[in-house]
Amino acid sequence: MSIYDSLNEQQKQGVFTTEGPVLLLAGAGSGKTRVLTHRAAYLIEELGVNPYHILAITFTNKAAEEMRQRIDDMVGFGSESIWVSTFHSACVRILRRFIDRIGFGTNFTIYDTEDQKTVIKEICKRLQIDTKQHKERTFLNVISSEKNELHSPEAFLLRAQGDYAETLQAKVYQEYQSELRKNNALDFDDLIMKTVELFRSNPEVLDNYQERFRYIMVDEYQDTNTAQFELIRLLAGKYKNLCVVGDDDQSIYKFRGANIYNILNFEKEYPDAVTIRLEQNYRSTKRILEAANHVIANNVGRKGKTLWTENEEGEKILFRQLDTGFDEANFVAHDIAEKVKEGICRYKDCAVLYRTNAQSRLFEERLVTGNIPYKIVGGVNFYARKEIKDLLAYLKTIDNATDDLAVRRIINVPKRGIGATTLQRVQDFAIEQEISFYRALQMADEIHTLGRGGTKIKPFVNLIQVMRSKAAILSISELLQEIIQETGYVKDLEAENTDEALSRIENIDELITKTVSYEQSVENPTLSGFLEEVALVADIDSVEDEKDYVLLMTLHSAKGLEFPQVYLAGMEDGLFPSYMSICSDNATAELEEERRLAYVGITRARQRLAVTCARTRMIRGETQYNKVSRFVKEIPKELLSGQPDKEKKAELPIPDAYAKNNFYAKPMALKRVGVPEARNFGSTDTKEALAYQVGDAVSHVKFGNGVVLQIVEGGRDYEVTVDFEGAGVKKMFASFAKLKKL
């Protein structure tokens, strides 16, 4: 029996159609990874393609590792020559060989988000930018967007003429790129952008990789941005044997620069492309799949496809509308505990998905109270923790001393008494001499303004120089332990003797474990290679399949995962879809993106799906009254157990055992958020001042148009309840609301 006999007809077509451009429209759970791995096997075993000529690109390390393992299992000897990697990893490999062609050293450093923030902060300080008015985060977002569109600082500056805010952003972008070049560093967006720049400016380098990668497969194509699209277009330009796999209904990363039109317009870019639809779902029950199909059918900007399955009918989708967000968290925690107790599932079978990170708090509190193990995906990344960043900064400085950011981070770690004035004088000297910060430290004797401060610099420089010489003979793990020993980093933490210090020591132990693991898994381990690997780690890659805990995560983080039991929480208009999308100038497109996100959430579930929401929710200290999400109402009623249009209280039986376990302990009394007592509103008789009454149509500067439902007289002000068309029911004080009668 052939390995291809297990594929359905559409999957076989995707495997056997190898020449020219191919678009695989792969619905959720339709076995796209099977198609890609079988396709690689078919190219090698049946068509005799050298594995060296195959490139498979995906987005996460986890997906790349899974694909690599499956291909190795199927193909065996020779499969290691296939490039199976993420976009960023592939670009790093290319740039390590050829980036010197565009003016960088091949031992460049990769900056993470924290590093980027530090650089931006320094630039804002240097340019005397008021960061209260112009946020550092905004500059980073704008720079990332420009790079995703392959716009240089100069092109941005030219386009920004006449607009003060954009001109300022363009200048910061210029300074930022200049700083990165000086430090021989790249950020994540640069990895793609600089590879495109390399290919465009060096035809012989491009030709080398076009010859190498004669067959290219790209997973999750709907998530590609303009820069990634151009990278793939250039690589596939010679042979055009390009197979892209994706689902336009799962394009949910617009905020990261993803361009859905890359997949929607694929046939326009490649008129001779073959389009194959994978519509058989192997993951979910019929009811879950039918719900997903009904929701996504409301989107207009999509390629038509309808998922179907031979799986069982399955349970109805559990719908519950609770009174408050606290009650919602109680319900979910109780339901998980019940199902585990009854043996229906394990903790690790359950995932709680929500629209925003802030929603995790209540669920976390209730799971703790219920003694339910859990993990939040999207918390502090291991490599972003202080002790890990400190030690990695030492390794970066040893590997690439031109990285000013790394050097400045550790010059006083541990404390060496080198003051801010001394460091500023070194920095001034470096700028004046056009040299790196570390080189200026080496020349401290020539900086006459330093005085006695220069004597404190020498031990640090000597330490780095000694470590650089040892790096040539020690393994990475030995070098790391040498750094820890010489700096007394762990010794200082042991002296603290606190739980936090102990936790940090455990993290350092884990970093040592990581270096050993890297050395054992790579044929020729190098310090640069290790630093490159840890720089490319994504948070979602840290999810451990064997651990038994409930996962809490945003819907964006859940993409690519699946669970037997899924809880979609906070399904309320205003929360999901968000107010921003409902009230946006481009509301149609924004709501379609939100609906795709709902579709992703629904299709994460294999056997059971629960959808929950709350009538009232405390957000930023204010009580909000929200309608059931329009996405829930798009699910046919016969698929739900519980109806979204019923306003009666959701019935919630509370077994005694769980009541005793504090699942339903009442929340602490919350202080009513209202008007400060000392505030003077003028006349206490504000009723005459109101230009509207119950039933009137009014407008609000943020929430738009609505109808007044209730006016309640208070001591100094009126409490007005308004049902807004887009934002739902809001309760507010008249003097703050400044409602205008329409």
Annotated active-site positions, please? 32-33, 219-220, 250, 604
Would you state the structure tokens that stand for residue 603, as one six-digit string?
A: 């299709």
Which amino acid, residue 742?
Answer: L
> 361: which residues sit within 8 A by CB, 6+ positions away?
none
> 613: which residues sit within 8 A by CB, 6+ positions away?
320, 321, 322, 328, 569, 570, 571, 572, 626, 628, 629, 632
Contact assessment for residue 373 and residue 550, using Cβ atoms and an 8 Å cutoff: yes
Angle (CA) 450 125 458, round 5°: 25
End-to-end Cα distance, the chain: 73
Q: What does the alpha-carbon distance between residue 108 and residue 484 come to, in Å, rounded to a whole number?
A: 24
Contact assessment for residue 730 and residue 722, using Cβ atoms and an 8 Å cutoff: yes
Q: What does the alpha-carbon distance between residue 616 and residue 326 come to, in Å, rounded to a whole number?
A: 10
Smallest CA-to-CA distance from 93 within 18, 191, 22, 210 is with 191
> 469: which residues sit within 8 A by CB, 6+ positions away?
none
Contact assessment for residue 502 and residue 509, using Cβ atoms and an 8 Å cutoff: no
Angle (CA) 70 72 74, round 5°: 70
> 268: which residues sit within 8 A by CB, 6+ positions away?
none
Contact assessment for residue 224 and residue 125, using Cβ atoms and an 8 Å cutoff: no
Helices 476-487 and 386-399 meet at what angle, rounded to 10?
Answer: 110
> 146: which residues sit within 8 A by CB, 6+ positions away?
153, 156, 173
* 268 SS3 class: helix
Smallest CA-to-CA distance from 54 within 66, 67, 62 is with 67
> What are the DSSP calls for 233-252, one per residue?
HHHTTTT--EEEEE-GGG--
> 340: which residues sit within 8 A by CB, 6+ positions away?
346, 347
Would you state the structure tokens that stand for residue 227, as one six-digit string?
A: 């820069």
Contact assessment for residue 555 and residue 351, using Cβ atoms and an 8 Å cutoff: no
Q: What does the alpha-carbon distance between residue 551 and residue 342 come to, in Å, rounded to a whole number?
A: 20
* 370 SS3 class: coil
- Looking up tokens 């739980």 gives 499
Contact assessment for residue 416 and residue 456, using Cβ atoms and an 8 Å cutoff: yes
90: β partners? none
Smallest CA-to-CA distance from 631 within 692, 589, 578 is with 578
Q: What does the alpha-carbon distance between residue 216 and residue 620 come to, in Å, rounded to a whole number?
A: 48
